[in-house]
Amino acid sequence: MQEEPNNEQAGEEEEFPYRTEFKKKSIRSYVIRGGRMTEGQRNAFDNYWGTFGLSLYDGAINPAEVFGGAAPVVLEIGFGMGDSLLEMTKAEQDKNFIGIEVHPPGVGRLINNAGKEEVKNLRVYMADAIDVLNDCIPDASLDRFQLYFPDPWHKKKHNKRRIVQPEFVKLLCSKLKPGALMHMATDWENYAEQMLEVLEAEDMLENTAGKGQYSPRPEFRPQTKFERRGERLGHGVWDLLYKRK
């Protein structure tokens, strides 16, 4: 059960019953913004949440059961508005995709488009990814993990809110199958350096590009919304690709 009301969303009209799910924690990697939703995004919850939505409070899943068949499982944290994840579900129909995002308008947009396009290989949590990893994703069940352009929290005093930390990477490793891929990308050089440091220090991982190296963008990763925003601001892009030993 929900441990406390999600006060950050209290401003929304009461008849909208879909709420971001999270447990109490002292440091969070996100702020839930009230963010206005378009009518299409709102209606998407009534039309498609039943098809794509998974709940943190239902606990551990069996991916083969959830998708109605076994296939390699890809998990993405923080898909934002979801366009690049949707593109991937269509480009790699031999895989099943689980997306996790706390931002309701982004979830609405993704399930709306996925519903209209009758996408079959996608499920979505509107929840804190750390809680989902801990409570819902079985150990050694993922074939690929992806984290694209996570919030940079670039002020020094906010750096601790960055999601990529040693404990987070350890938790992720426990969810990956041996040989699975861990893929991250960022447009903040200082965050790229932190990712590299944390990933290199994790014994369960091996850098596919060679020790201490960044990777070129793999073909399977489309450009994302935040990547394009970074490009307009003159930022570079750093991809990191590791294999679970």
Number of C-beta neighbours around residue 213 at 10 A: 12
Member of 41, 54, 63, 80 binding ligand SAM (CB under 6 A): 80
Contact flag: residue 200 with ligand SAM (CB under 6 A): no
Contact flag: residue 104 with ligand SAM (CB under 6 A): no
C-alpha closest to that of 89 among 140, 123, 49, 64: 123
Our CB check for ligand SAM shows the closer of 33 and 90 to be: 33
Contact flag: residue 77 with ligand SAM (CB under 6 A): yes
**Residue 225: CB minimum distance to ligand SAM, A:** 4
Q: Rounded distance, CA 123 to CA 75, Å?
A: 10
Q: Rounded distance, CA 83 to CA 103, Å?
A: 14
Our CB check for ligand SAM shows the closer of 158 and 245 to be: 158
Our CB check for ligand SAM shows the closer of 208 and 223 to be: 223
Number of C-beta neighbours around residue 16 at 10 A: 13
Q: Is 21 known as a binding-site position?
A: no
Contact flag: residue 21 with ligand SAM (CB under 6 A): no
Phi first, then psi, for residue 162 (nearest 5°) are -60, 135
| Cβ atoms of 125 and 136 closer than 8 Å | yes
| Cβ atoms of 128 and 134 closer than 8 Å | no
**Residue 131: CB minimum distance to ligand SAM, A:** 8
C-alpha closest to that of 106 among 61, 56, 44: 44
**Residue 159: CB minimum distance to ligand SAM, A:** 14
Phi first, then psi, for residue 72 (nearest 5°) are -55, 140
What lies within 8 Å, CB to CB, of 209 at 6+ separation is 215, 241
- 151 assigned to active site: yes
**Binding positions for ligand SAM, 22-51, rule CB under 6 A:** 29-30
**Per the residue annotation, which of 131, 143, 151, 239 is the catalytic one?**
151
Q: Is 151 known as a binding-site position?
A: yes
**Binding positions for ligand SAM, 140-179, rule CB under 6 A:** 148-151, 163
Which residues belong to the annotated binding site for substrate? 155, 187, 224-227
Provide the binding-site residues for ligand SAM, judged by CB under 6 A: 29-30, 77-80, 100-103, 106, 128-130, 148-151, 163, 224-227
